[in-house]
Amino acid sequence: MEGTINRLLEDLEKKKKGEFFIFYEEVPIKVILNVFEINFLKKQIEFEINPKIEVMISQEKELYARVNDDILVLKALMWNREVLITSFPSFAIEPKIKRNFVRVKCPAKHPVNLEIDSELCVNLRDISEEGFSFKLPKSATFEIDKEYEGRLNVNSKTFPIIFKPLYKIERPDNTYRYGCKITQARPIVQNEIAKYVGDRQRELAKILSNFAD
């Protein structure tokens, strides 16, 4: 595993640039970043960026890189309109680049919520035809790899689904974000989700065009 990380570092040191993905509103944006410095003592990398990249990095504060079949993540530590300093890469808990379906965030003006076992209702953070994520307080009891029944409310319509949490990520607001896979749902559910995703993509298209090189 260390060999994969070292390969990326060696490649960045040799080429003085690298290919990365930044996720803006859960949509992957491919960028090529020039490397100013790799500090092996502090385990930090300094990149050259521009104001457009600053806007994107300010949202998720992460860079993703692919090395063969492995996905690595670099955490943003400090940045301004010209410079970005990240941590050294580590293996990503959430391999976003490998998603099979387009995922979009669920804005407050177009909420999607999930009723879980008739006891809990959460607003989804993001959604795709394959799955979704949401946050829960750390005190909540929610098991990884256990199937749950739920009722998904999307586009003012409600559908029964079965889903499974695959991972959880600790957040700074004393919560966990759970990434979940839909394991059972009628075809009409995927169609409705696809319609929702398409609507959000059209809204994002104009914004994302501003980030094109």
Sorted by where each starts, the structural domains of the chain and their CATH numbers stand as: 1-98 (2.30.110.10), 104-210 (2.40.10.220)
Strands 131-137 and 126-127: antiparallel
Please, what's the b/e burial string for 108-145 (b: 16 or more CB within 10 A of its CB; e: otherwise)? eeeebbbbbeeeeebebbbbbbebbbbbbeeeeebeee
pLDDT for the residue 139: 87
Residue 204 identity: L
Taking residue 84's Cβ as centre, other Cβ atoms within 10 Å add up to 23
pLDDT for the residue 210: 64
pLDDT for the residue 28: 83
Q: What is the pTM of this model?
A: 0.71
pLDDT for the residue 72: 94
Which pair of structure tokens corresponds to residue 119? 């006891």
Which residue matches tokens 């739920």? 150
pLDDT for the residue 1: 56
The rounded radius of gyration (Å) of the Cα atoms in the chain is 19
Contact 179, 130 (CB under 8 A): no
pLDDT for the residue 26: 81
pLDDT for the residue 211: 57
pLDDT for the residue 208: 67
pLDDT for the residue 207: 72
Q: How confident is the chain (213 residues) per 10-residue block, as mean pLDDT?
A: 88 96 85 95 96 88 91 95 95 76 90 88 94 92 92 95 94 92 95 93 75 53
